[in-house]
A and B are shown apart, each in its own frame.
Chain A
């Protein structure tokens, strides 16, 4: 066995570029999610909702009179949550109570592994593919991971020894189960159209503007965004944490950093959903009417390597801009629509979205047969 390990170690030099690439991609995605989105979305949420409702929003925290449009509230929030008492209620299942926030936040982070945030580039002879794990099962991985994140909420509800939490946990379980089924089926049409589950393949196939998922699968898109909103557990579908009924639902008994982790998980899920939406329906890293070769040609004056770098930067920027746009839209929806009732959520999932998804698959199949 030692020999095997030595052999593996001996391969490190030849694998070095790949390892560097891998680490760089992981660090990039991690900083984007944890360093940019997790703290900033709190600010975006506050300010955007305020402006939508003709308010000003949080702006009083300041350092030497500089408020930075309320951005410093992120900092004060962090300090507050760090110094808060970490409360575990009596009778709670301590290990599970401790474990739940981690189960909630980790899947939200790793789901981004299969979402491509750029195309394929040849940099100094090394082929780079801007996705952390280019899995053949692709989008199924996101589903699997999303279904794991359900446990975070369910266990939190169970372990808190609190009736509100328990009800919240049960509601999470029911809602997630219902909408996972529907969400899987809504995307079958997309897989059929692009003939692949691999997200980079889907991204490459969307180079033509009119082959974007939104044009090929309009019904699938609407159904998917509904399911994604339900999976995210934000307002139109926030029955698991309905303030008016369940205090805060499954995280009623959480405080301090553990509460912050649930909060972060919600925001990260939103980023992931936006990423999936962009990758599947909005052309991923592609710019409308601009092909990869065209862009390379445009940056040709930089020399072949730096042209590739420039194209990469442009593509990655385009991807994140699209993701930001989607986060804006998701926030708009969250602050516009009132909450559904529990039975309405279930009815929407099972009686409307599921049959419509099946119809969508049928139509897609029929059209594909006719076209081919």
Chain B
């Protein structure tokens, strides 16, 4: 049963991700990304990481994608039917090739290397308390550094926006 759900979610996520790139309309593309995030959230939940799953929904699907949609609507981006120039096609081919090589390397590495043995998940794994405890003890330094980074980003954004007003 779980396996079925996993395959369903995984396929849907892959489909949404692929369609997101293919679709021409920005809004549809954004919506497909949201669908993809839903599936990812479902996969997290199946891994037992409930907090991460709900944060995926809350932060990415709920807040950030609303911002993206907001920007798309403000700029009123519509479907663009331009001709793809030659060097762009070359660029795209190059990009796909590099990505393919990259994936191949990762696959080869995974194939040969020894994966760590999976450990049994404890009952409290992925709960708010467990994640919070780890975050504020073992990973306190990266956590604080990340918050300072975000603060710097916010201040920078405010300064950039202020100069225009």
Contacts and interface: CB of A to CB of B under 8 A. Distances in A.
Interface of A: 1, 4-5, 8, 93, 96, 135-137, 140-141, 143-148, 150-151, 154-155, 157-159, 166, 169-170, 173-174, 176-177, 180-181, 197
Given A93-B27, A173-B73, A197-B128, A154 B66 contact: yes
A137 B63 contact: no
A143 B62 contact: yes
B9 interface: no
Contacts of A181: 63
Contacts of B159: none
A146 B62 CA distance: 8
Nearest to B56: A144
Most chain B C-beta atoms within 10 Å of own C-beta, residue among A5, A144, A169, A173? A144
Interface of B: 1-4, 25, 27-28, 31, 34, 50-51, 54-55, 57-58, 61-63, 65-67, 69-70, 73-74, 76, 127-128
A269 to B, nearest CB: 15
A151 B64 CA distance: 12
> Dominant SS at the A interface?
helix
Given A8-B1, A96-B27, A147-B58, A177 B63 contact: yes
B54 A154 contact: no
Given A144-B57, A147-B58, A176 B66 contact: yes
26 contacts: A4-B1, A5-B1, A96-B27, A96-B31, A137-B50, A140-B58, A140-B128, A141-B54, A144-B54, A145-B57, A146-B62, A147-B58, A148-B61, A151-B31, A155-B31, A166-B76, A169-B73, A170-B73, A173-B66, A173-B67, A173-B69, A173-B70, A177-B67, A177-B70, A181-B63, A197-B128
B53 to A, nearest CB: 8
Given A151-B65, A158-B27, A170-B70, 6 more contacts: A5-B4, A136-B50, A137-B54, A144-B61, A146-B62, A173-B70
B68 to A, nearest CB: 10
Given A4-B1, A173-B73, A151 B54 contact: no
A143 B59 CA distance: 10
A168 to B, nearest CB: 11
Contacts of A197: 128
A133 to B, nearest CB: 11
A265 to B, nearest CB: 16
A180 B69 contact: no
A136 B127 contact: yes
